[in-house]
Chain A
Amino acid sequence: MSETVIAATRTAGARLAAAWSWGWPKLFAIALVIGAWEALFLSGWRPSYVLPSPGDTFGALYQMVGTERFWLAVKTTMTRAGTGFILALVLGSIVGIAVARVKPLRLAVGNVITGLQVMPSIAWFPLAILVFGLNEQAILFVVVLGAGPSIANGVIAGIDHVPPAFTRLGRVLGAGPIALYRDIVLPAALPTYVAGLVQGWSFAWRSLMAGELLVIIAETPSLGTTLDFARQMSKVPELIATMIVILIIGMIVDGVFGSISRRIRRNRGLAIDD
């Protein structure tokens, strides 16, 4: 009995120790940044209406989170991000599979996809605004163009790196072309595909923020417009608070992708980085 208790305490203690060893460097880093910021504020390098103190900023954040308008803005932005990302996922995957499968298609557009991936998607906005107008479609268009190429490239790289032994196995087992793709090639490509999705997400998020700053739609609060209004009204604490929200949302989504990717790798006995 006493043994069990000791073991249980140890596990709880061990868990706490693990949480601490995971958490303290992060807490330390946050404390360091806030400390440096406070020091910069106190040094009087810039007047407080340009560079507010961490205290004022977190106060503004706290107030902002309490408003309905803020959650409306988050909802608009996340809806755009979600719609754009899912559209990019569908289109990117279809294009990726087609390019990986059809050789002439690869010769024709393989490099273009990489080119599009490298091209800053914000460069599309002037054209998108002219074609679609200052509206949701313009934003969506650029988000899809931002994320799609990374996703397509993830599919292509994933399929290219499927071990030849697996495709040979498929033939030996008598898999038809569709079954070979469904059961062997695509699952084998999954880890690289997910890496492409992670990258696609980060491009989508960046394109979306650029879009929300450029394409401001009346009566539709978003994180981008919140930033822009805060700048126009010189509400600097609110501006920085919004930036923190944008940072945190990006990190949360990335964390979700990271844990999906780690689970896939663990299931396959692959090395897990970090």
Chain B
Amino acid sequence: MANAEIILRADSVTKSFGPEGAATVALSGVDMTIRAGEFVTIVGASGCGKSTLLNLFAGLDKPTSGTITVNGKVALMFQEATLLPWLSARKNIELALAYAGVPRADRETRVNELLAIVRLGEWADKRPHELSGGMRQRVALARCLAQGARIVLMDEPLGALDAMTRDHLHDEIESIVRDQNLTVVFVTHNMREAVRLGDRVILMGSRPGRVVHEQSVPLARPREMDSNDIATRAADLTNRLKAGQAVLQGADS
């Protein structure tokens, strides 16, 4: 994987909001390289610019300075599934297919394939409010796949779910990502989740957002959220994040 094609790259990226002089710096000098097929998790406290970074990768925003390189089609998954409430699960996915230029005649077959991948075939014609939070995120994932993207940026997609549903979706996301050959950047504030899912974990500090530390996770899959290996690594990373944050705050005062 070390030699795989670079698919996402941030070079000295800085992003600030607001008027010059009184601007809030959301990201400062961020360097990041993500290769094809990697599952990278980004962890940090709130205000570390995680979501801003994803917006830059998704092309929804432009960096104030530095460069973003994206090599492939990008799809985004949010904390809220953001399904259109007036459309059934099927129609929500179909809309993404339509925008991706899939011919009308092929859409139904493709939707059925995608629903099967996220195991929601029986729920195809339900509207979002009739689905559970976990199901809604599975529709959102199917919609990402419908876009034909090879890169999926996930912004705390499981943050609003209960622990059981979340563990279940970890397994599912993991297997779908592997089967569909996706590259994933997964943002979370849960250190264990980061270690559970990531081939590599990137720690980001806040005010301003920057990379504090990064580390690969050589644990074999499938992994258990509650295993000791994960707990130990998560604790270690938490300490590193605190230390990284302390260094900066020390410099401030």
Residues on A close to B: CB < 8 A? 165-166, 168-169, 171-175, 179, 183-184, 187-188, 190, 264, 267-270
Contact partner of A169 (CB less than 8 A), chosen from B82, B86, B100, B128, is: B82
Range of interface residues on B (Cβ < 8 Å) = 20 to 34
- Residue on B with the closest CB to A163? B82
Among candidates B84, B96, B147, residue contacting A166 with C-beta atoms closer than 8 Å? B84
> Do the beta carbons of A174 and B99 come within 8 Å of each other?
yes
- Please pick, from A179, A184, A264, A269, the residue contacting B129 in the complex, using a CB distance under 8 A: A269
Q: Which of B14-22, B73-81, B213-221, B232-240 contacts A (4 or more CB under 8 A)?
A: B73-81
- A267 B86 Cβ-Cβ under 8 A: yes
Q: Which of A169, A174, A175, A269 is in CB contact (< 8 Å) with B127?
A: A269
Report how far A266 CA is from B130 CA in the complex, Å: 11
- Docked pose: A179 CA to B78 CA in angstroms: 21
Establish whether residues A168 and B85, one from each chain, have CB atoms under 8 Å apart when the complex forms. no
Contact across chains for B82 and A173 when beta carbons are under 8 A apart: no
Which of A174, A183, A264, A267 is close to B100, meaning CB atoms less than 8 Å apart?
A: A174
Within 8 Å of chain A (Cβ to Cβ): is B58?
A: yes
Given contacts A172-B75, A187-B84, A268-B85, 19 further A-B contacts (CB under 8 A): A165-B78, A165-B80, A165-B82, A166-B82, A168-B60, A169-B82, A171-B60, A172-B60, A173-B147, A174-B100, A174-B147, A175-B99, A183-B84, A190-B86, A268-B86, A268-B129, A269-B127, A269-B129, A269-B130
The interface residues of chain A lying within 8 Å CB-to-CB of B147 are: 173-174
A222 to B99, CA, bound (A): 52
B-side interface mostly: loop
Note all chain B residues with C-beta closer than 8 A to A168.
60, 82
Whether B99 pairs with A173 at a CB distance below 8 angstroms is yes
A179 and B82 within 8 A (CB): no
Tell me whether A172 and B86 are in contact (CB under 8 A): no
5 contacts between A and B (CB under 8 A): A166-B82, A172-B58, A174-B99, A267-B85, A268-B127
Neighbouring B residues of A166 by C-beta, 8 Å: 82, 84
- The CA of A38 and the CA of B196, in the complex, are separated in Å by 78
Report B64-106 residues with CB < 8 Å from chain A CB. 75-76, 78, 80, 82, 84-86, 95-96, 99-100
By a CB distance below 8 angstroms, the chain B residues around A268 are 85-86, 127, 129
Specify which chain A residues have a CB less than 8 angstroms from the CB of B127 in the assembled complex: 267-269
Chain B contacts with A in 115-138, Cβ cutoff 8 A: 127-130
CA distance A205 to B78 in the complex (A): 46
A218 to B3, alpha carbons, bound, how many Å? 90
**Interchain residue pairs A-B with the least CB separation, the first 5:** A269-B129, A268-B85, A174-B99, A172-B76, A173-B99
A268 to B95, CA, bound (A): 17
Closest to A169 in B: B82
Q: How far is the CA of A190 from the CA of B87 in the complex (A)?
A: 13
Q: How far is the CA of A179 from the CA of B85 in the complex (A)?
A: 17
> With a CB–CB cut-off of 8 A, which chain A residues contact B78?
165
Q: Which residues of A contact B58 (CB under 8 A)?
A: 172
> Looking across the interface, which residue of chain B has its beta carbon closest to that of A264?
B86
Q: Indicate whether A184 sits within 8 Å of B84 (C-beta atoms), given known contacts A268-B127, A268-B129, A269-B128.
A: yes
Considering the complex, which residues of chain B in the window 125-173 have a beta carbon less than 8 Å from any beta carbon of chain A?
127-130, 143, 147
